[in-house]
Amino acid sequence: MKLHPVYRITVFVPPAHLQALKAGILAVDDLAAGGYSHGMWESAPGHEQFRVQAGTVSACGDAGELVREPSVRLEFCIPRDAVRLQRVLELGIAAHHPWNSPAVFVDSTEFAAT
């Protein structure tokens, strides 16, 4: 096996919006890595919580309210290319996620593949 430099992108999304988010991401990038495409991992629903701060127009909850919503962890990898990453973040995730500020994490790591 060989190590390939990739970005691992993790995003949390309400279950009702999971399929639309996946479709939006795949419309921007086929997520080709290691001889496969459309590779994504979903973790069982958990919960996401946040308190809406004053002056924030939130998609869910009012100022001062502690919001706790069901959430699915979605992960996928792309080759380490900053332009490709920015396109996925802006056109794939931000454009198709229901939250104003979705919880998105990007790690630089390596993917073991033949």
pTM given for the model: 0.88
Tell me what the pLDDT averaged over the chain comes to: 92
Residue 35 inside a domain? The answer is yes
What pLDDT was estimated at residue 19? 97
CA trace torsion 33, 110, 88, 31 (10° rounding): 10
What pLDDT was estimated at residue 36? 83
For 20, 49, 103, 105, 109, the CA distances from 62, given in Å and listed in that order, are 25, 13, 19, 25, 37
The SS3 call for residue 82 is: helix
- Quickly list DSSP for 85-113: HHHIIIIIIITT-SSSS--EEEEEEEEEE
Nearest Cα neighbor of 93 from 35, 112, 85 is 85
Per DSSP, 52 falls in state P
Pairing type for strands 104-113 and 2-13 reads: antiparallel
Residue 82 belongs to domain with CATH number: 3.30.70.120
Residue 30 inside a domain? The answer is yes
Q: How many domains does the chain have?
A: 1
Q: Render pLDDT for 13-53 as a digit per residue (tens, 0 to 9).
A: 999 999 999 999 999 999 987 678 999 999 988 998 988 88
Range of the domain at 18: 2-45+71-113
What pLDDT was estimated at residue 34? 64
What pLDDT was estimated at residue 39? 95
Residue 101 inside a domain? The answer is yes
Nearest Cα neighbor of 65 from 79, 54, 78, 81 is 54
What pLDDT was estimated at residue 94? 97
Residue 77 has pLDDT above 80, yes or no: yes
For residue 54, name the pLDDT band (cuts at 50, 70, 90): confident
